[in-house]
Chains A and B, each alone.
Chain A
Amino acid sequence: MSGPLIELEHVTKLYGTVIGVNDFTARLEPGAYGLVGPNGAGKSTLLNLLTGQLVPNRGRVRVFGANPNQNSELLSKTGFCPGYEGLYSTTSGLDWVTLLLQLHGPPYRAARARAQECMELVGMEHGMNRPISTYSRGMRQRTKLAQAMAHKPTLMILDEPFSGLDPVGRAEMTAVLREFVEEGNSIVIASHVLHEIEALTDNFLLICGGRLLASGTAAEVNQLLFETPSEVELTCDRPEYLGGVLLQQELVRSASVITRDGAEILILQTLNARELGTALPGIIADHSINVVRMTTVDESLQALFNSLMKIHRGEQ
């Protein structure tokens, strides 16, 4: 099998009348990719298409140049960590990973040894012989990661792998995955939290409503964030005056003043947050305005997606 890591050509997947993935086209070379999107964006559907669990209604999916549906050869090169748990509660983590590894062909002893090695790698050396029902959510996540990498795949597809992990666990798993990538392997990692995967990769695919909205590096995404319409809140004295100045200089589209908890707050809507951010300190100093607090109210990923969707629909 050869070719690019992933090729998606006008892929559409429908669940009855509900669209899972909508006319998705992308071509990814080997490397690490973050699939970012809010809940219900179609990330899991896309991952299921990549693992061959779903067949597209339209379009073509290729992984390493081959159709992933019922493709045993491809499955032996792919490790998958789904978003939901689905672990057998009565068995131990080590037994479970051993079983899944045995399906790739190695004899029991070799599989057991490798499973043990992987469980230790993900920090489960102390709990691997306990029944899974006694595991915390973080331990289950680690076990899921161990099963995905136990058969030494060249591509790992991970759906929300950091969910339920504490910051220490997150850092440890990030280190494990980074090492996996540094060995020349590829990763596609889905998350709805951008910074979770920033530590792992610079390449992002932004997906919402089953569509690919944007793709690029973290810097490009940040640029996108700055360049999309956003809202800024300022707590300061003379908010009406400052609002007037900013409107006069066409740095904002609108300005309004509200009172919240006894304080007057200036709410600004801008098309270019970066330009506003650059000019604002000088204006404040020139006009001797005392600013107590400045926040952007919609810096979340969802806001970015909402804005991108509006652009996509031609509303902005």
Chain B
Amino acid sequence: MSLVKNLALQVLTLLKHLWALVCDLSGFSRGLLAIIRFEIKRVTTPGRAFWWVFVAIFPIVIACLLRYVVEPQVRENIQNAVIHQQMMIEQNQNQQIIVPATSGDQSGMGQLPPGAQLQPGQAQPMAAPPPIGSNRDQLYTVALYLLGPSIACMLGALLIAAPAIASELEQHSWIYLATRPNGVFFLVAGKYIVAVMWAFSATLIGVTGGAMICGQEYNSALSIPGPQKLQLSLSQLNSSVGVDDEFALTMSVTNQSQSAINDVQLRVRHTYEFKLTDLAEKKRDNRGSRLVESIATLGPGETKSVDIRILAEKATGNQVGRITAMMDYPETPSPVSVVESIQIFKESPPTFFWRVVILIATAFFAAIAYSALYLVIGALFPARAMVFCVAYTIGAEGILSMLPAVVNRLTVQYRLRSFLFHHLQDGSGVSEGVGDALLVTGGADQPLWILIHAAICLGVSLLIVLSREFTTAAESDV
């Protein structure tokens, strides 16, 4: 009973403090700014500055490794797989196929449309190569999330917020601040703000730098360069054309050679999520593709464009499906076939800027949430703040957040992942698979949840430091 009474008294005291501060806003801001300015001076010492640089550089270094060491290796593997398949097809059909591996998205090429029939001895459809293009961008987005908001920001908050109270007790400086009017409030709030600034600024540098290094490869307009005489391109014109879920594409072919080329065939193949509105009557060939246009003669430098309409039937989220463009023309000694595919989106395709903005926003919310969380753990266990914070991070944020159960919703990681997925899914085409892997369900209320969580943590921290007696005897235990 006395505990409840004591707690109620402390809550009342806290509210009194807050009310007094609200009544004297200028004094409040001056006190808070004084602590912030002083703490910023303290965290810019060489030792702390080293850690800031480390937290900021860490995602950039890993991004560099991914971009310049891992990715070339993956691309080489793709190239080898494609060459291997080409050789198999040439053996079967004696036909030359050129598949540029460096542009556009090739995943999904191996999918057969319903009803496709393969004859013995005919070319096998290509198996899906490792992800590239929009999948590559998704992977980099997830990697940058893990490196930035998830690890760097958490580390930054851990370094500054966790020992915020313990350090004052250790060096016996607590008493000087605690014997000032609202000194404890200013101290906790000021240190929290500095921790958020410290962690967020380092992560901002890390995420932005990492994103610039990773870049973006996916482009909704597909253009296939190469040594061939004809240039094939496929582009999404707009998000819809009057009817819901109906999209327009343009398929273009340009003769880049000095002589006319005869008998050029443009074909398309698609995944099962949608159908081709204006080509529905055309039958599929043995590769599962439909003839779009047969061009008798294409003069030197001449371009021929054809519009195609598609109707989404099983669109999931922002993604409609994949379209594969194919072009065949006779060439000596063997005919040439050019194949490429792109992902079709309902809304605007992802932009590099949007991805970076969402990652930075996630980092900001991570800094807010983790700083508050570590502050309250530091207030509860000032003697072993770091140990308890690390244990909580591993147990709750590491393991619990990845459990496929409702309990993972109590973790900050879950909220951050949901925020990221929600915004990139709507605007940028992070696939359902990525969402499933991250165990999230999208939701626009994540920032609100994070802000409420941080406010509760801050309030509890203040209650703890206001009610606990940090005196000489207590300090000696730290």
Contact B176 A100 (CB under 8 A): yes
A75 CA to B179 CA, complexed, in Å: 6
A256 CA to B478 CA, complexed, in Å: 51
Q: Which residue of B lies closest to A51 (CB)?
A: B179
A70 CA to B17 CA, complexed, in Å: 9
Contact B173 A102 (CB under 8 A): no
Interface residues of A in 37-74 (CB under 8 A from B): 44-45, 48, 51-55, 70, 72-73
Partner of A86, one of B171, B180, B182, B186: B171
B53: which A residues are within 8 A, CB to CB?
Answer: none
Minimum Cβ distance to chain B for residue A102 (Å) = 4
A88: which B residues are within 8 A, CB to CB?
Answer: 42, 171, 173
Interface size classification for chain A? 35 or more
Contact B31 A15 (CB under 8 A): no
Contact B472 A86 (CB under 8 A): no
Interface residues of B in 169-203 (CB under 8 A from A): 171-183, 186
- Which one of A25-33, A104-112, A194-202 contacts B? A104-112
A44 CA to B471 CA, complexed, in Å: 9
Of residues A44, A105, A106, which shows the largest number of chain B Cβ atoms within 10 Å of its Cβ? A105
Contact B181 A103 (CB under 8 A): yes
Q: Which residue of A lies closest to B31 (CB)?
A: A103
Contact B172 A102 (CB under 8 A): no
Chain A 63-100 interface mask (CB, 8 Å, partner B; 1/0): 00000001011011010101111111011000100011
Chain B 160-176 interface mask (CB, 8 Å, partner A; 1/0): 00000000000111111
A15: which B residues are within 8 A, CB to CB?
Answer: 473
Contact B31 A95 (CB under 8 A): no
Minimum Cβ distance to chain A for residue B274 (Å) = 65
A186: which B residues are within 8 A, CB to CB?
Answer: none
Contact B45 A100 (CB under 8 A): no
Q: Quick check: is B5 within 8 A (CB to CB) of the other chain? A: no
Tell me how many residue pairs across A and B have CB atoms closer than 8 Å: 89
Interface residues of B in 15-53 (CB under 8 A from A): 17, 20, 24, 27, 30-31, 34-35, 38, 41-42, 45
A72: which B residues are within 8 A, CB to CB?
Answer: 17, 20, 181-182
Q: Quick check: is A228 within 8 A (CB to CB) of the other chain? A: no
Minimum Cβ distance to chain B for residue A37 (Å) = 15
A80 touching B183 in the complex, CB below 8 Å, given contacts A105-B30, A108-B34: no
Contact B181 A80 (CB under 8 A): no
Q: Quick check: is A230 within 8 A (CB to CB) of the other chain? A: no
Partner of A91, one of B41, B179, B182: B41
Q: Which residue of A lies closest to B474 (CB)?
A: A15
B34: which A residues are within 8 A, CB to CB?
Answer: 99, 102-103, 108, 111
Contact A75 B469 (CB under 8 A): no
Contact A84 B182 (CB under 8 A): no
Partner of B471, one of A48, A70, A95, A147: A48
Partner of B175, one of A80, A103, A108: A80
A10 CA to B178 CA, complexed, in Å: 25
Q: Quick check: is B78 within 8 A (CB to CB) of the other chain? A: no
A90: which B residues are within 8 A, CB to CB?
Answer: 42, 45
Q: Which residue of A lies closest to B172 (CB)?
A: A86
SS class, residues of chain B in contact with chain A: helix
Contact B182 A103 (CB under 8 A): yes
A99: which B residues are within 8 A, CB to CB?
Answer: 34-35, 38
Contact A73 B472 (CB under 8 A): no
Minimum Cβ distance to chain A for residue B160 (Å) = 16
A72 CA to B181 CA, complexed, in Å: 4
Q: Quick check: is B262 within 8 A (CB to CB) of the other chain? A: no
Contact A53 B38 (CB under 8 A): no
B20: which A residues are within 8 A, CB to CB?
Answer: 72
Contact A103 B173 (CB under 8 A): no
Contact A100 B180 (CB under 8 A): yes
A111 CA to B34 CA, complexed, in Å: 10
Minimum Cβ distance to chain B for residue A41 (Å) = 14
Q: Quick check: is B308 within 8 A (CB to CB) of the other chain? A: no
Minimum Cβ distance to chain A for residue B382 (Å) = 15
Q: Quick check: is B441 within 8 A (CB to CB) of the other chain? A: no
Of residues B42, B182, B471, which shows the largest number of chain A Cβ atoms within 10 Å of its Cβ? B471
Minimum Cβ distance to chain A for residue B74 (Å) = 48
Q: Quick check: is B390 within 8 A (CB to CB) of the other chain? A: no
A87 touching B173 in the complex, CB below 8 Å, given contacts A51-B179, A53-B469, A70-B466: yes
A102 CA to B470 CA, complexed, in Å: 23
A84: which B residues are within 8 A, CB to CB?
Answer: 172, 472
Q: Quick check: is B13 within 8 A (CB to CB) of the other chain? A: yes
A44 touching B179 in the complex, CB below 8 Å, given contacts A82-B172, A88-B173: no
Contact A73 B41 (CB under 8 A): no
Of residues A80, A82, A107, which shows the largest number of chain B Cβ atoms within 10 Å of its Cβ? A82
Chain B 324-356 interface mask (CB, 8 Å, partner A; 1/0): 000000000000000000000000000000000
A158 CA to B144 CA, complexed, in Å: 54
A100: which B residues are within 8 A, CB to CB?
Answer: 176-177, 180
Minimum Cβ distance to chain A for residue B343 (Å) = 55
Q: Which residue of B lies closest to A72 (CB)?
A: B181
B470: which A residues are within 8 A, CB to CB?
Answer: 53
Minimum Cβ distance to chain B for residue A97 (Å) = 10
Contact A91 B176 (CB under 8 A): no
A105 touching B172 in the complex, CB below 8 Å, given contacts A80-B179, A84-B472: no
**New contact pairs (19) apart from A90-B42, A95-B38, CB-CB < 8 Å:** A44-B472, A48-B471, A53-B175, A53-B178, A53-B469, A70-B466, A75-B183, A82-B172, A86-B175, A91-B41, A95-B41, A99-B38, A102-B30, A105-B31, A106-B30, A108-B30, A108-B34, A111-B34, A147-B176
19 contacts between A and B (CB under 8 A): A48-B472, A53-B178, A70-B13, A70-B466, A78-B179, A80-B175, A80-B176, A80-B179, A84-B172, A86-B176, A88-B171, A90-B45, A99-B35, A100-B176, A103-B34, A103-B177, A105-B30, A107-B30, A147-B176
Give 6 closest A-B pairs by Cβ, nearest first: A86-B172, A102-B34, A72-B181, A103-B180, A105-B27, A86-B173
